[in-house]
Every structure is written in C-alpha cells, then in structure tokens.
C-alpha cells in the first residue's frame, strides 16, 4: 500500500504541475461573459453534434456555476431548464434549481415529486468530483458519479434523445462505458479543444439520429 501511495503522490505532483488555471479559454470566457471556461466545451459539442434545437426541456446535472446553462439558453430559443448541484446558486427566474448530492435519496425524491414534468430532451452531466489530484482516486469517483447520472438518464431522458456525460478516462473508464453502451449503443467520445491537453477528461455524447 505504501508503494501505491508513493506512486499516487508522484502522479499528483505531475498533474498539479500541468495545471494552468488561467489559459486562453479562461480569458475568452471572461470576455464573453460566461461564468466558466467550460462553456467553450459545450459550444464545441454543440457545433459538432447539434444537441440543442428549439422547444427543448433540458436537465443540467451538477450545473454550478452554470456556464453550460448560459450556452444552452443561447441555443434553445424555447426551453425549460432544471438544475441540480451540491452547491447553491442565487435563484434564477428562468430555471428550477435544486441543491442535492447525487448519492442522496433527495435526488430521486425531487425527480419523483416532479415526475409529471421530468421528461427531458437533453440531459447533460458535466460532473466533476472534488479532485484530490490522485488520478486513480479522482477517476474512480468520476465513474461512480457518471453511473448515477446514467440512472437518471435511463429514467428521465425521453427515449432516443440527447445525453452528455463527462468522464475521467482512466483505468475504470470501461465500467462506465460498457454500462452506458447498453442504453446508448452508438454513443461517441469527444475531447473538445477547451479541455486541457493533459487532462483525462472526455465527453461521451449520445445524439439522437
């Protein structure tokens, strides 16, 4: 175990060294008024896969600080948005927001209570666990979160509509990928340019044909 722990610490040093918080996407996001640089990842996904059209109902899982919702809102002229995250944001007029941990029963309670309404055209999950900068540990947490997101999609995504997942691609990636492929057999992976080059982040996109 000591050896494994040492190798984790070495990898952590490498990953931290590779991290540049304020790159060009950070400044472009500031200029464009987006709340986070991750907006550009969704813009690239939209350009390539055209997930948003109009009249859509969108569920954003783990949405804080909601830059993805800014992009979704610009791309769906008629929309309804629902938002879930561990963190609170100031109330927004145009959206229903819920604060909850995906692993708690509260998520299912919220979804169940609003079941009449919870039938989505697009569900997106840009989740990221609180990183420890230890790839094996962070990636395992990422897979766990995505398996939960998959459960939500199984139940609340309209058949054959669009789903987006962010996963850390590492040793356990297949645990998620194989499970997701059972539901979304033609799911594709995509790494937007806005993802930092050394990052293990990858997006899995299910696009209705």
Ligand X SMILES: C[S@@+](CC[C@H](N)C(=O)[O-])C[C@H]1O[C@@H](n2cnc3c(N)ncnc32)[C@H](O)[C@@H]1O
Give the binding site for ligand X (CB under 6 A). Answer: 35-36, 38-39, 62-68, 85-87, 101-103, 126-129, 145
Q: How far apart are CA 103 and CA 81, in angstroms?
A: 22
- Residues comprising the chain, all counted: 209
Q: Are strands 120-125 and 95-99 parallel, antiparallel or unpaired?
A: unpaired
Reference 114, options 128, 96, 102; nearest CA is 96
CB of 178 vs ligand X, minimal distance in Å: 22
Q: Are strands 201-206 and 188-190 parallel, antiparallel or unpaired?
A: antiparallel
Q: Which is nearer to ligand X, 8 or 98 (CB)?
A: 98
CB of 2 vs ligand X, minimal distance in Å: 29
Q: Which is nearer to ligand X, 57 or 142 (CB)?
A: 142
Count CB neighbours of 88 within 10 A. 10
Q: Which is nearer to ligand X, 62 or 176 (CB)?
A: 62
Q: How far apart are CA 104 and CA 85, in angstroms?
A: 12
Residue 112, class by beta-carbon neighbours within 10 Å (0-12 exposed, 13-18 middle, 19+ buried)? exposed
Structure tokens at 108: 């299912």
Residues identified as active-site: 166
The residues that bridge with 53 in the sheet, in sequence order, are: none
Q: Which is nearer to ligand X, 46 or 181 (CB)?
A: 46
CB of 194 vs ligand X, minimal distance in Å: 11
């Amino acid at each position: 175990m000591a050896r494994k722990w040492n190798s984790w610490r070495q990898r952590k040093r490498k990953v931290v060294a590779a991290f540049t918080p304020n790159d060009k996407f950070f400044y472009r996001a500031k200029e464009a008024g987006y709340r986070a640089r991750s907006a550009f990842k969704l813009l690239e996904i939209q350009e390539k896969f055209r997930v948003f059209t109009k009249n859509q109902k969108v569920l954003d899982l783990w949405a804080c600080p909601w830059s993805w919702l800014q992009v979704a809102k610009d791309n769906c002229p008629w929309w309804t948005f629902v938002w879930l995250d561990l963190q609170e944001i100031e109330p927004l007029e145009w959206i229903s927001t819920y604060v909850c941990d995906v692993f708690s029963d509260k998520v299912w309670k919220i979804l169940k209570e609003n079941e009449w309404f919870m039938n989505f055209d697009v569900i997106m999950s840009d989740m990221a666990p609180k990183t420890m900068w230890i790839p094996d540990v962070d990636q395992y947490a990422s897979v766990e979160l995505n398996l939960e997101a998959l459960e939500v999609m199984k139940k609340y995504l309209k058949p054959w509509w669009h789903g987006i997942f962010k996963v850390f691609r590492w040793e356990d990636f297949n645990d998620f990928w194989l499970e997701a492929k059972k539901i979304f057999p033609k799911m594709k992976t995509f790494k937007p340019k806005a993802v930092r080059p050394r990052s293990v982040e990858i997006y899995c996109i299910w696009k209705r044909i």
